[in-house]
Structure 1
Amino acid sequence: MSRLDKTKNLPIYQKAMLIYQLVESLMASLPEEDEYIQDTKELIRADAMIIPAKIAGAEGGDLYSIRMQNAALIREHAMHLYVQVGSLRFHESYKDLEYVTLIRKELDEFRVLFLDWVNSFDTNNHIWDEWGLFNPPGAIRSTEIDGFEEDDFNSDDFFDEED
């Protein structure tokens, strides 16, 4: 089984694709004459498209730091999607609230799958993130943080010498 097939069989990926399909159905039900809703529509669609792509990216990378970077982006876009879809409830020109309720329910279920998925990441398979954000828990090297000395900086390193 190929890596892509394995990714497509993951419950979190399948849920992300279901959410994307629901969002596409929602898009078809949105009124064309409302400019704000049309702008919101593009944000909603973009968020829904990015989530499965980032799951595939995380699965393809297999390194903890890469998977966590993708997970952070998935979380951000899922949260945006939840808020943007929910905001449709407050627009007079949109009355079909069943999609809003359904998509938000699916996103709540997605969050549970997301937590399980992130907890399955192999913390032993990582490269060091010098920014410290995507290192496994407890993997902060204080020598790296404290290791920079002012004398280590040489501005000449950034300019080409002219002959």
Structure 2
Amino acid sequence: MREKWENLSVYKKAMEIQQLVKHIIKAIENTEIDFKEEIEAEMTNHNLKYLMENSYIITAKIAGAADEDMLYDLKMEHAAIIRKAARELLIDSRGIEIHGYKDIEYLDLLRNEIDEFRILFAEWVKTFDCWNYMIDRWGLFNPPGINYDDPGS
């Protein structure tokens, strides 16, 4: 089962991002940042924590959605969480920059990697079989033409 996701381009890119995030966090932790206020230091620490968490979420959710037999709505739910986590990586990197981290080339590298990931992600999502589904009664991830209140499964 592990080979299913480890061989996916989107997973490999997510692992590269995860490693990059680890290096960025280490670099930031080893940098003296002149915070104007204590709240900036606290917010930067939160940004670093969320960078790591979101990089782990992305790889975990790709692995979970790689099961070919998984229903479409569940795959799409994983995909939505992955997208959210990737976008939060961008938000947190911007927060770190705003609060005084000056070596932004590392953050720019992360932004570029996420943009490459976005393309791989979009192509991967297109491979989901939308007709392997149960009706999503919440109405978010139904195939085209299927409504949350349709009779059926």
TM-score (norm 1): 0.80
Q: Which moved more, 1:102-111 or 1:79-88?
A: 79-88
User: Is 1:104 the counterpart of 2:111 in the alignment?
Assistant: yes
8 Å contact kept, 1:30–1:37:
no
Q: 1:54 aligns with which of 37, 61, 66?
A: 61
Residues 6-155 of structure 1: pairs in structure 2 closer than 5 A: 6-31=4-29, 34-60=41-67, 62-92=70-100, 94-140=101-147, 143=150
| Relative contact order, higher structure (CA 8 A, sep 6+) | 2
Give the % identical residues. 42
Letter of the 1:4 counterpart: R
1:69 & 1:21 partners in 2: Cα distance? 25
The 3-state SS of whatever aligns with 2:66 is helix
TM superposition outliers: structure 1 runs of 4+ over 4 Å: 141-144
* Number of aligned residue pairs: 141
Report the alpha carbon displacement of residue 40 of structure 1 after superposing the two structures with TM. Answer: 1.3
TM-score (norm 2): 0.85
Which structure has the bigger radius of gyration? 1
Note the residue ranges of structure 2 that are not aligned, 5 or more in a row.
33-40
8 Å contact kept, 1:55–1:70:
yes
